[in-house]
Amino acid sequence: MASNVKILLVDDNPMVLGMLQQALSALGEVTVATDAADALLKAVDDLPDVLISDYRMPGMDGRQLLEKLKARPATAGIAVILMASKADISERLSMQDAIEDYLEKPFFLKDATHKIKRVVDRIALEKLSKAASTDGILRGSLSQMNVIDLVQSLEMGRKSCLLTMTKGNGNEKCEIYFSQGQIKHAAYGPITGDEAVFKVLRWTEGNFQIDFNGKSSQETTTLNTQGLLMEGLRLLDESQRDAAAEGEDVLLDT
């Protein structure tokens, strides 16, 4: 399900542009540009949330585009992901604060989409948070953002909060407490800690709410957030493999 995030995709290679556009269309509203000058005009006209740009392009390159966007107050807040070679990424130290992430070329389409999705999900959650009710609690449906995406977004945003998920008319409930993006305590009925997190990763329907004032002194988990997700997904794959195979992956270069 596409989110409320606007993505501007820039690449002078038509094949790469087309394949990425197709892959990212499920994540949000995607606009494309074939060069940096066109991208700059489109970004000013319709502000994107995320810019994904090739680093080396004829004329204005990705770095120059980034500098122009960051120099304008209206576009300075755009999250930027650059597609670049390993050698070009060596400049990361001087651009670290301006870049959200890098895609090292050549890259597999599936891996790139996964990395971009984490950024998009975090931004989608932030946009939902701004529209939260006056009581400071964000409410939504797991059809808007599933459990894994929620957990990853809270981790990336380094949020401290209580994430509560319910299903079956509220008969089943899981509470997960975060501190600076790390899961410290989880409870699913009588089950607590790591096992409670693993249980809820299987949910495909239900509702969630995030209380950014929610705190707990308990620490029942033994793994960090990424460790919990990786182990939970491993267990999930063992018990139920995805029936819809993703097919062959595609390696994208210049």
Determine the Cα–Cα distance for residues 54 and 85; give it in Å rounded to an integer.
Answer: 10
Residue 176 to residue 93: CA distance in whole angstroms: 35
Domain ranges for the chain, please list them: 6-126, 134-239
Contact indicator for 9, 33 with CB cutoff of 8 Å: yes
Candidates 3.60.20.10, 3.40.50.970, 2.60.40.640, 3.40.50.2300; CATH matching 6-126: 3.40.50.2300
Tell me: the pLDDT tens digits for 42-88? 999 999 999 999 999 999 988 899 999 999 999 999 999 999 888 88
Write the pLDDT tens digit of every residue in 100-127: 888 998 999 999 999 999 899 889 888 8
Q: What is the per-residue pLDDT for 185?
A: 98
Q: Do 135 and 209 form a contact (C-beta atoms < 8 A)?
A: no
- pLDDT band at residue 237 under the 50/70/90 scheme: confident
The answer to whether the CB of 186 falls within 8 A of the CB of 197 is yes
H-helix or E-strand containing 85?
strand 79-85
In the predicted model, what is the mean pLDDT of residues 123-152?
80
Exposure on the CB side of residue 232, measured as CA atoms within 13 A: 24
- How confident is residue 93, by pLDDT bands cut at 50, 70 and 90? very low
Instruction: Tell me the mean pLDDT in the region 90-94.
Output: 61
pLDDT of residue 243: 47
Residue 12 and residue 57 in contact, taking contact as beta carbons nearer than 8 Å: yes
CA angle 3, 4, 10 (to 5 degrees): 85
